[in-house]
Amino acid sequence: MKQFILPALFLLVLASCSTPKYSYIFDHHDYNAGKKKKAEVAQASAETAVLPEESPLKLDESTLTASATEAPVVIAEEVKVKEAKENFLRQYNAMSKTEKKAFKKELKNELRQMVKAKKKSDGDQKADATKVMDNDLRLAIIFGAVGLVLSLFGGVSSVFWVLSVIAIVIGVVFLIKWLSRQ
């Protein structure tokens, strides 16, 4: 009998040290996907800033197009950057010194407003994410606390032990439910 137990124990230890049959591959998930989406939304909101009609930064409405789909928008007329730059420089050089000063001041104000709006939207999203606690997590904490308190009263009666075990199991179920969604 001793000769049978030692090889069986050796095989059991050897089997427990073997590698698992399946393993997860961690390098196929894009962990920055949410951050990229937030950056695109912030960039889109920055591009939609309203400028006065006399401003040289105002775009021609004939070049603007919109689409409800997520497919890229192809513009029939190709906007030439070089011509737009030359047009802007021509308008800027035609301005007087006071107009240039006013234009620079207006441009700085617009940039400040866009930065404030971006900071405010980022701050609101972070504040909302930290203030809101998920309902399943809240229930898991409550049932876990009730289970621990009832286990302290377990010395008084065995009913408290049974109730504490039930409360802790319910708390663990809610915790697993919350973790599965994260």
Tell me if 136 sits within 8 A of 172, measured CB to CB. no
| 43 assigned to some structural domain | no
Q: Is residue 99 part of a domain?
A: yes
pLDDT in tens, 31-72: 676 677 776 766 766 555 544 555 666 666 666 666 667 776
- The Cα 103–Cα 109 span in angstroms is 10
Same structural domain for residues 58 and 116? yes
Q: What percent of the chain is predicted at pLDDT more than 90? A: 20
Instruction: Identify the three-state secondary structure at position 76.
Output: coil
Specify the pTM: 0.32
Residues 112 and 145 in one domain: no
Instruction: Give yes or no: residues 60 and 106 share one domain.
Output: yes
Domain count, the chain: 2
pLDDT average, residue stretch 129-158 = 86
Q: What is the dihedral of CA 125, 128, 134, 138, to 10 degrees?
A: 150
